[in-house]
């Protein structure tokens, strides 16, 4: 009997990776927002406008980034639970001591 990759386990790992990516992206947006505000208060109007014009279509506001970070955290936690449950289930379905 051949056992191929456990799809639930890999789904859990995929959720962990996606959650980590979501947290990283949200943290980056928060950090960029903080840097932009600091630069705006310390630089000329021309420099501040240049900083603000950097790809506004991909920028999010602070509350949205904070929510995305929380969602990423929950996604990672749920992915861990799925992977752990899948691992435990595999051990109960196969009698390794036979």
Reduced to 3 states, what is the DSSP secondary structure of residue 43?
Answer: coil
**Cβ atoms of residues 90 and 6 within 8 Å:** yes
pLDDT tens by residue, 52-98: 665 554 556 888 999 999 999 999 999 999 999 888 887 666 656 55
Confidence of residue 1 (pLDDT cuts 50, 70, 90): very low
What is the rounded distance in angstroms from the CA atom of residue 67 to the CA atom of residue 92? 38
What's the pLDDT score for residue 93?
A: 61
What's the pLDDT score for residue 89?
A: 80
Quote the mean pLDDT of the chain: 77
């Amino acid at each position: 009997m051949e056992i191929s990759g456990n799809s639930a386990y890999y789904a859990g790992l995929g959720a962990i990776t996606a959650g980590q990516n979501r947290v990283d992206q949200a943290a980056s947006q928060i950090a960029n927002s903080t840097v932009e505000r600091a630069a705006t208060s310390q630089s000329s109007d021309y420099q501040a406008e240049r900083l603000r014009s950097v790809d506004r279509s991909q920028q999010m506001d602070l509350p949205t980034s904070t929510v995305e970070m929380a969602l990423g955290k929950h996604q990672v936690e749920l992915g861990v639970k799925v992977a752990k449950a899948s691992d435990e289930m595999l051990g109960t379905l196969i009698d390794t001591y036979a």
